[in-house]
Amino acid sequence: MKAKTFKGGAHIPHYKSWTEHIEIEKMAVAPYVIIPLSQHIGAPNEPLVKKGDKVKVGQKIGDSTEFISAPVHASANGVVTDVDYFPYYAGGEALSVRIESEGDEHEFHPTVQRDPESMSVEELRSAIREAGLVGMGGAAFPTHANISPKTPVDSLLLNGAECEPFLTCDHRLMLEKSEELIAGAKIMMRCIGAEKCYIGIEVNKPDAIDKLQKMLENEPGMEVVPLEVKYPQGYKSTLIKAITGRDVPRGARSADLGCVVRNVGTTIAGYEAVVYGKPLIERVVTVSGPKVGKPGNYIVKIGTPVDFILQQCDVVPEEGCKIVMGGPMTGKALTTLEPGIVKSATGILVLPPDMASAEVPYTDCVRCGKCVEYCPMHLYPNQLSIYAEAELYDLLEKWNASDCMDCGICSYVCPGHRPIADFVRKIQPELKERSRAGKTG
Ligand code: SF4
Ligand code: SF4
């Protein structure tokens, strides 16, 4: 079958060979974890614990009464030493719970084993909400909200593209937790009322495609869709276009197109939440880079400090290297190694100076048109970067800057090294504010 794709995007080096064949392994538990109270898009959580409290693995430690939010849970047994502001991976500080781990036993032991078939849709959504699930591919949108569409949905699209270089955690999950993935997909399908499920996988993961295709032979309504290897194949709009052929109009949500898109890791976590009541207290993280002593795909407790992860993987950061949480295109370069791993962290990458995009001076736009050619949202990134630099918000609105999905391709292809995506990212909060004021004012 010919691999499907979308118009635009770019072929970029994969760098997946360091970890793609390494089986998932559990990482040791750190002496302490720092768990940010709000790791999702939506209303912030209030702490449910205070300094000195003893906590158990899986205990809820932060929650909100708002619908668009997701609770957080203790990932280790221990004692709360602080509820305070700690360095956050995306910059600045975030209100977090610091737990000093006690003892050697930090596994989650389920007290239930439920049959999803015997549960109502509301019970399924509630189990997913209580487990604090968010989009684990990077989006961090609360999953229970995502699977409560207000308009009819016909298709669930599972995102197994994993289109960013280095990352292989989803690849390994599709191979090693295939049954849970299929069971999780059925749960999601029931929640959204979809009759079809497509698992989109880039063709550089032939073993995962092959395995899931065989397993789905007798599953009517579920199929694997091989995708061309191209960045950003795994974004919502590009995935929807590639798999269903449907265009996502400006301002539309995927549910408006009859689709709900979920990451494969989130889908497996959804299965564990529903069947075992397991909260999102750990996730698989790819630790990679040419100088990582022990690269791999590790199950890491949420809140594990980055410097502990680096120690466990025999990394001695060299002068000028870049440590990134997430993928190299959309992840965040860390300014300190203190932050704890968050629910949406797909990787910890150690990029040596020759791979890290150095802070080179950028030039004026030479109007080569490359960024326009590659932009998967069919925007004019060259214009947007100029308007964003000058904070010309009327023009940014006119040129649809809010449609930017922050894929970073424009910066990657620009011969003048213009940090286009950074410019466009910085003006988004103000654009949102203006849009809100326009709607309510
Ligand atoms: S303008 Fe936005 S969507 Fe277009 S290439 Fe740049 S980062 Fe990607
Ligand atoms: S790629 Fe860079 S130089 Fe070329 S048009 Fe875009 S902003 Fe200008």
* Residue whose CA lies nearest to ligand 1 atom number 4: 375
Give residue 380 CA to ligand 1 midpoint distance, Å.
Answer: 8
Give residue 389 CA to ligand 2 midpoint distance, Å.
Answer: 14
Q: Find the ligand nearest to 424 CA.
A: 1
Q: Find the ligand nearest to 369 CA.
A: 2
CB of 396 within 6 A of ligand 1: the answer is: no
Among 371, 378, 383, 386, residue to substitute to test ligand 2 (most atoms within 8 Å of Cβ):
371
Q: Give the 3-state secondary structure of residue 221.
A: coil
Does the pLDDT value for residue 248 go beyond 90? no
Q: What is the pLDDT of residue 356?
A: 74
CB of 421 within 6 A of ligand 1: the answer is: yes
Question: Using CA atoms, how far apart are residues 209 and 223, in angstroms rounded to an integer?
Answer: 10
216-226 pLDDT tens trace: 999 999 999 99
Give the largest CA-CA distance in the chain.
62
The side-by-side arrangement of strands in the sheet containing 222-227 is 222-227, 196-202, 155-160, 259-263
Q: What is the pLDDT of residue 440?
A: 43
302-336 pLDDT tens trace: 999 999 999 999 998 888 899 999 999 888 899 99
Return residue ranges of the chain for CATH 3.40.50.11540. 116-276
* Residue whose CA lies nearest to ligand 1 atom number 3: 404
Task: Indicate the pLDDT class of residue 1, thresholds 50, 70 and 90.
Answer: low
Give residue 402 CA to ligand 2 midpoint distance, Å.
Answer: 19
Does the pLDDT value for residue 104 go beyond 60? yes
* Residue whose CA lies nearest to ligand 1 atom number 1: 381
Task: Indicate the pLDDT class of residue 357, thresholds 50, 70 and 90.
Answer: low
Task: Tell me the CA distances in angstroms from 57 to 72, 76, 112, 233, 438, one per residue in order.
Answer: 11, 5, 15, 36, 45
CB of 419 within 6 A of ligand 1: the answer is: no
CB of 382 within 6 A of ligand 2: the answer is: yes
If one compares 287 and 8, the residue with the highest pLDDT of the two is 287
Give residue 405 CA to ligand 1 midpoint distance, Å.
Answer: 6
- Atom number, ligand 2, closest to the C-alpha of residue 410: 1
185-213 pLDDT tens trace: 999 999 999 999 999 999 999 999 999 99
Amino acid at 271: Y
Q: Which CATH number fits domain 116-276: 3.40.50.720, 3.40.50.11540, 3.30.2130.10, 1.20.1250.20?
A: 3.40.50.11540
CB of 329 within 6 A of ligand 1: the answer is: no
CB of 404 within 6 A of ligand 1: the answer is: yes
372-398 pLDDT tens trace: 999 999 999 999 999 999 999 999 999
Give residue 32 CA to ligand 1 midpoint distance, Å.
Answer: 38
* Residue whose CA lies nearest to ligand 2 atom number 7: 382
CB of 408 within 6 A of ligand 1: the answer is: yes
35-53 pLDDT tens trace: 999 999 899 999 999 999 9
* Residue whose CA lies nearest to ligand 1 atom number 5: 375
Does the pLDDT value for residue 55 go beyond 80? yes
* Residue whose CA lies nearest to ligand 2 atom number 8: 365
Give residue 149 CA to ligand 1 midpoint distance, Å.
Answer: 27
Report the pLDDT averaged over residues 84-112. 95
Does the pLDDT value for residue 99 go beyond 60? yes
* Residue whose CA lies nearest to ligand 1 atom number 6: 410
Give DSSP secondary structure letters for 158-199. EEE---SSS--HHHHHHHHSHHHHHHHHHHHHHHHT-SEEEE
Q: What is the mean pLDDT of the chain?
A: 94
Strands 72-73 and 60-63 come out as: antiparallel
Does the pLDDT value for residue 441 go beyond 50? no
Give residue 375 CA to ligand 1 midpoint distance, Å.
Answer: 5
Question: Using CA atoms, how far apart are residues 274 and 262, in angstroms rounded to an integer?
Answer: 16
Report the pLDDT averaged over residues 422-426. 92
Give residue 331 CA to ligand 2 midpoint distance, Å.
Answer: 22
* Residue whose CA lies nearest to ligand 2 atom number 2: 414
Question: Using CA atoms, how far apart are residues 409 and 365, in angstroms rounded to an integer?
Answer: 16
Report the pLDDT averaged over residues 85-114. 95
Task: Report yes or no: 152 and 196 within 8 Å, Cβ to Cβ.
Answer: no
Q: What is the pLDDT of residue 359?
A: 64
CB of 34 within 6 A of ligand 1: the answer is: no
126-176 pLDDT tens trace: 999 999 999 999 778 999 999 999 999 999 999 999 999 999 999 999 999
φ, ψ (nearest 5 deg) of residue 389: -60, -35
